[in-house]
């Protein structure tokens, strides 16, 4: 029996590798099998910067809106500026609960693929957060919205969610992941940059599914490296 032990261990190892290969193949094929175009809910969020400076950088020179596309399998958010020399993109894979952050800063193109359930790189999450639905409603950018009071233990503020469209895990890229409805107005902090985002436009669109893939000219970096690069954007050095 002892002579068969290495053979049994070897067989178990090969079988595990075979199963893993099948899973990876299926996962890749699912991405490949996406149609060339996909239906999406498009939200244009107007950005209000909550402070006049983020680190050393005056916020008045920063981009004024964020484009977000909500689909069945992915959510993409994009901020661009400086004559297309800067872009920050978050691509959330809703099936696998992973968010990829892509940064282009004057031709320096990098990406980081987050872990399961992990917030995007450089997004700040409060240590404590609780919600209270107030019952107050209003229309924001054409979306019927319900007010939610957020309490972080250090401050309170209001955000708004909507039931006018539906997508699973709509807030996976924000600290408000436990809210099941898409947000029409909310606060978020990226590194030193504090923002309030408000829906200014909403429409259904058909978009090209290739926007959810990582371009070939981007190189991978670690989370620490990505956050260090993002943090450096707010210094004059």
Query: How many percent of the chain have pLDDT more than 90?
Result: 82
Total tally of structural domains belonging to the chain: 2
Kindly state whether residues 11 and 116 are assigned to the same domain: no
Whether residue 71 is contained in a domain is answered as yes
Kindly state whether residues 123 and 196 are assigned to the same domain: yes
Kindly state whether residues 13 and 77 are assigned to the same domain: no
Band of pLDDT at residue 200, cut at 50, 70 and 90 = very high
Cβ atoms of residues 141 and 43 within 8 Å: yes
Of 153, 152, 138, the C-alpha closest to 185 is 138
Which range (17-21, 56-60, 80-84, 134-138) has the least confidence?
Answer: 17-21
Residues 70-80 pLDDT 10s: 999 999 999 99
Kindly state whether residues 71 and 140 are assigned to the same domain: yes
Residues 151-182 pLDDT 10s: 999 999 999 999 999 999 999 999 999 999 99
Cα 102 from Cα 92, distance rounded (Å): 11
Residues 29-88 pLDDT 10s: 344 468 999 999 999 999 999 999 999 999 999 999 999 999 999 999 999 998 778 999
Kindly state whether residues 217 and 114 are assigned to the same domain: yes
Of residues 1 and 57, more confidently modeled: 57
Kindly state whether residues 127 and 204 are assigned to the same domain: yes
Helix (H, G, I), strand (E, B) or coil at 29: helix
Residues 6 or more apart whose CB falls under 8 angstroms from that of 59 comprise 49, 51, 52, 53, 193
Of 105, 88, 110, the C-alpha closest to 188 is 88
Cα 184 from Cα 142, distance rounded (Å): 10
The H-or-E segment that residue 132 falls in is: strand 130-140
Indicate which CATH number applies to the domain containing 88: 2.50.20.10
**Residues 198-203, mean pLDDT to the nearest whole number:** 98
Band of pLDDT at residue 235, cut at 50, 70 and 90 = confident
Domain interval for residue 28: 2-32
Whether residue 237 is contained in a domain is answered as no
Kindly state whether residues 48 and 20 are assigned to the same domain: no
Kindly state whether residues 176 and 147 are assigned to the same domain: yes
């Amino acid at each position: 029996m002892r002579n068969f032990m290495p053979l049994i261990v070897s067989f178990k190892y090969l079988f595990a590798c075979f199963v893993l290969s099948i899973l990876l193949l299926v996962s890749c094929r699912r991405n490949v099998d996406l149609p060339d175009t996909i239906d999406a809910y498009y939200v244009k969020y107007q950005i209000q910067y909550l402070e006049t400076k983020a680190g050393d950088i005056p916020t008045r020179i920063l981009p004024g809106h964020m484009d977000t596309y909500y689909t069945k399998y992915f959510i993409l958010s994009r901020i661009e500026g400086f004559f297309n020399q800067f872009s920050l993109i978050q691509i959330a894979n809703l099936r696998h609960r992973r968010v990829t952050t892509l940064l282009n800063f004057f031709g320096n193109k990098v990406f980081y693929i987050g872990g399961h359930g992990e917030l995007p790189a450089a997004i700040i999450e409060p240590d404590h957060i609780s919600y209270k639905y107030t019952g107050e409603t209003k229309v924001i950018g054409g979306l019927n919205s319900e007010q939610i009071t957020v309490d972080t233990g250090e401050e309170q503020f209001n955000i708004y969610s909507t039931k006018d469209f539906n997508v699973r895990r709509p807030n996976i890229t924000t600290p408000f992941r436990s809210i099941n409805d898409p947000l029409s107005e909310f606060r978020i902090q990226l590194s030193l940059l504090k923002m309030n985002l408000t829906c200014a436009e909403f429409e259904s669109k058909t978009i090209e599914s290739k926007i959810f893939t990582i371009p070939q000219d981007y190189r991978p970096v670690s989370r620490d490296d990505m956050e260090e690069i993002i943090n450096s954007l707010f210094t004059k050095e």
